[in-house]
Amino acid sequence: SGYVSLKGVRKSYRMGEVTIHAVDGIEFEIEKGEFVVIVGPSGAGKTTVLNILGGMDTCDEGEVLVDGQDVSKYRKRELTAYRREAIGFVFQFYNLVQNLTALENVELALQICKNPLDAKQVLTEVGLGERLANFPAQLSGGEQQRVAIARALAKNPKLLLCDEPTGALDYQTGKAILKLLQDTCRERGMTVIVITHNSAIAPMADRMIKIKNGKVSRITVNPEPVSVD
């Protein structure tokens, strides 16, 4: 089976009398080094799947295999270590520390990490070699997202998980960020999974997974340019 493999994954939320089946029997497989895109309508369960994969949330049922290990069986301590060591996260709103420079933001994240890459070098690779000493407020949205990507990459994670990384950016800037993520995937052989509404992404993906009502509704390998919604 694949490098990442989800089988029968379910997750419900109880809200008073109401139970929401956020993830309702998700199955998919991903090979090592693939650039994978998750699309689907708002509320479909995309973020919940990504959070389960990254150890930020737990599932009620199912198997979540990453590099041969079942993440769903991890206890709290193993899950924390997994999140710190094996996973890089990139979010819509960069989540940078405002009173630290670009370089300090990346270095801070590496303090709790076992096998980090060189912070300066990774920032240079994402195009911010001249911006190391700048604070987030001195950077554009696209540049701030590059800092966040460098911060995630510098951990040298097994999986890079990105939840709407272009959601706060204009279309062209978003496209450049997606290109950076794809280059990272190709050059480092890193497995990258991106939730996005950006329609530029489809032709860039090795695999496009469409989620609807908590289930996989379609998997496309090497998709043609199409609408992602």
Least distance to ligand ADP, CB of residue 154, Å: 26
Least distance to ligand ADP, CB of residue 25, Å: 14
User: Which residue's CB is nearer to ligand ADP, number 22 or number 190?
Assistant: 22
Among the residue ranges 46-54, 83-91, 115-123, 145-153, the one whose residues contact ligand ADP (CB under 6 A): 46-54
Alpha carbons 107 and 184: distance in angstroms, whole number: 19
Establish if 171 lies at the interface with ligand ADP (CB under 6 A): no
Establish if 43 lies at the interface with ligand ADP (CB under 6 A): yes
Of residues 91 through 150, those in contact with ligand ADP by CB under 6 A are none
Alpha carbons 15 and 194: distance in angstroms, whole number: 28
Task: Name the residue among 178, 161, 198, 151 with its Cα closest to residue 39.
Answer: 198
User: Which residue's CB is nearer to ligand ADP, number 45 or number 88?
Assistant: 45
Taking only Cα atoms into account, the Rg of the chain, rounded to an integer number of angstroms, comes to: 17
Of residues 57 through 86, those in contact with ligand ADP by CB under 6 A are none
Establish if 210 lies at the interface with ligand ADP (CB under 6 A): no
User: Which residue's CB is nearer to ligand ADP, number 125 or number 164?
Assistant: 164
Establish if 48 lies at the interface with ligand ADP (CB under 6 A): yes
Q: Are 96 and 148 in contact (CB under 8 A)?
A: yes
Least distance to ligand ADP, CB of residue 120, Å: 33
Q: Which of 46, 146, 155, 207 binds ligand ADP (CB under 6 A)?
A: 46
Among the residue ranges 28-36, 39-47, 127-135, 221-229, the one whose residues contact ligand ADP (CB under 6 A): 39-47
The dihedral formed by the CA atoms of 76, 78, 84 and 89, expressed in degrees to the nearest 10: -70
**Residue 9 pairs with which residues in a beta bridge?**
26
Q: Which of 4, 6, 9, 22 binds ligand ADP (CB under 6 A)?
A: 22
Establish if 217 lies at the interface with ligand ADP (CB under 6 A): no
| Contacts with ligand ADP, residue ranges (CB under 6 A) | 13, 15, 20, 22, 40, 42-48, 164
